[in-house]
Amino acid sequence: MKTLVIITHPSLETSVVNKRWVEELKKYPEKYTVHELYKVYPDENIDVEKEQKLVETHGNLVFQFPVYWFNCPPLLKKWLDDVFLYGWAYGSKRDKLKNRKIALGVSAGIKNVDYSETGRYRYTLEQVLSPFETTAIYCKADYRSFFAFYGAEFEPSVS
């Protein structure tokens, strides 16, 4: 089954890193479905049933986003709240995410060294992103960690 990549970037058109990742993913439509939340839901009114069916028709799930105030962009949080419902994503009667591989692809504007217990922000990126892992565990999914691109704000020509 194909992998569903949920892209959540508030201004993808001005992004360098995430925009490039999307361009690459779109070269392989037989492997990936690229789903851009801000494009599909500019009004943030999420069609929950449509989104649940989309997830159900894919094997793996990847959330791609810029680390945004040490979290995900607000539309992704809303999507998770709206779509990962009791009775669908978790609960005694439904387990649509059970054993589904879930991973993250994130761009972190700051340097890797700043995401450390001795660094500028005192927490690792793994710690910052731990709510996603915990959510996957809660839904009995198979969390596969994250891939991160660090330091984009310091080397804009590279990012």
Using 50, 70 and 90 to split pLDDT, how confident is the model at 41? Answer: very high
Is position 143 within any domain? Answer: yes
Total domains present in the chain: 1
pLDDT at 155 (0 to 100): 55
For residue 87, what are the domain limits?
3-150
* pLDDT above 60 for 106: yes
Which amino acid type is present at position 154?
Answer: F
What is the CATH classification number for the domain harbouring 73? Answer: 3.40.50.360
Which amino acid type is present at position 9?
Answer: H
Q: Give pLDDT tens digits for 65-102.
A: 999 899 999 999 999 999 999 999 998 888 899 999 99
pLDDT at 156 (0 to 100): 47
